[in-house]
Amino acid sequence: MDSVTLSSTLDIVAPALGQTLSVDQKAAIETSLVIKQSSEKLHGLWFWGRVNGLEKDYLVAQGVTFPFDLENFTHEKKFYSTDGTKWDSLPPVTDESATRCARIAKPFSGAPATATWLLERGEAAPPAEDADAAPAEVEDEGEPAPEGFMKVKVTELDRLAFAVKSICEAAQLVPRGASMLDANDVVMPNAFFMGLSGDAVSNPASYLHWRPTANPKTVVKLGDAASDSLDFLDSIADDVPKGCWSMQMNSTSSAMVLRHLVWPGAVSYAVVGHKVCGFTYFGNGLPNQDIAFML
């Protein structure tokens, strides 16, 4: 969400979210993100969302620099704040930290330094699919780990970075045509994009994941309908589990709102016939473990 139009775009998604920002939070974010964007020399810095904590909430912002290479999204920078005025960088997410964070399902507290201790076998984090060797949460009472095990510290800041990355990869969308590949195969905003209209508004294939392409057949499977400059991201048409997206027009039929059911609180939106589009998240930072019973 662009900080300049934060209030108006929140009005689009607030009914789907059931929550929004306070007046004080909006005022602080609108001012501080402009300053942060200038200091970081970013082309854009948008309000990403809010991860609710037991004591404090985490506000998250997402910055981008164009153009960038499609093969990776290292152009992006993500920041967090607990007051909406001071923004710090989120740490990078490694495969090792992702394996550990995925095993922790307790709520966020709102204190970045809060530690969770995991008990692991050997010298490295085991694969996530190995349930017997997977890291298990333990209490840190100053006692040494049992023989053959080691204690590993995971901070809440690590967990926050992992949650934000996971939500982005699963649920952050852009309408087809909003971004394009230029002649040098780098991603740029499409200056000629004027929004979705007609049947395209309700077509799942019109909404693309804002992430490195996961399906190598994304362009091939479109056949003659594919555009070299527009069809370079995965659409949600083939997402699994089937039915994980809820698509509904807002109350005035002026925008399509897409909710991700695996990550409750993740919402993308596109204003009909207009270039205004975006994504936001308001939730507890945890996936819906009951999704299999809902579909």
Residue 205 maps to a domain: yes
pLDDT of the residue at 123 = 57
54 with 78, same domain: the answer is yes
Separation of first and last alpha carbons in the chain: 30
pLDDT at 148: 81
Per-residue confidence (pLDDT) for residue 227, from 0 to 100: 67
Whether 213 is covered by a domain: the verdict is: yes
- Same-domain status, 183 and 214: yes
Domain count, the chain: 2
Model confidence over 37-91: pLDDT tens digits?
Answer: 999 999 899 999 999 999 999 999 999 888 777 666 667 899 999 999 999 999 9
Question: What's residue 125's pLDDT?
Answer: 46
Domain match, 202 and 252 both: yes
Both 140 and 185 in one domain: the answer is: no
Give pLDDT, residue 268. 97
What contacts 24+ positions apart, CB below 8 Å, involve 288-292? 288/261, 288/262, 288/263, 288/264, 289/105, 291/241, 291/244, 291/261, 291/262, 292/241
User: 244 in a domain, yes or no?
Assistant: yes
Sequence-separated (6 or more) residues with CB below 8 Å from residue 141? none
Q: Is the distance from CB of 261 to CB of 288 less than 8 angstroms?
A: yes
| Residue spans of the chain under pLDDT 50 | 124-126, 128, 131, 219-222, 225
Q: Which range marks the domain in which residue 149 is found?
A: 95-162
The predicted pLDDT at position 183 comes to 79
Instruction: Give which of 139, 144, 141, 137 is closest to 120, Cα–Cα.
Output: 137
Within-domain flag for 167:
no
Among the candidates 103, 131, 162, a domain finishes at: 162
Whether 177 and 84 map to the same domain: the answer is: yes
Are 180 and 277 within one domain? Answer: yes
Distances (CA, A) of 228 to 179, 182, 219: 12, 9, 8
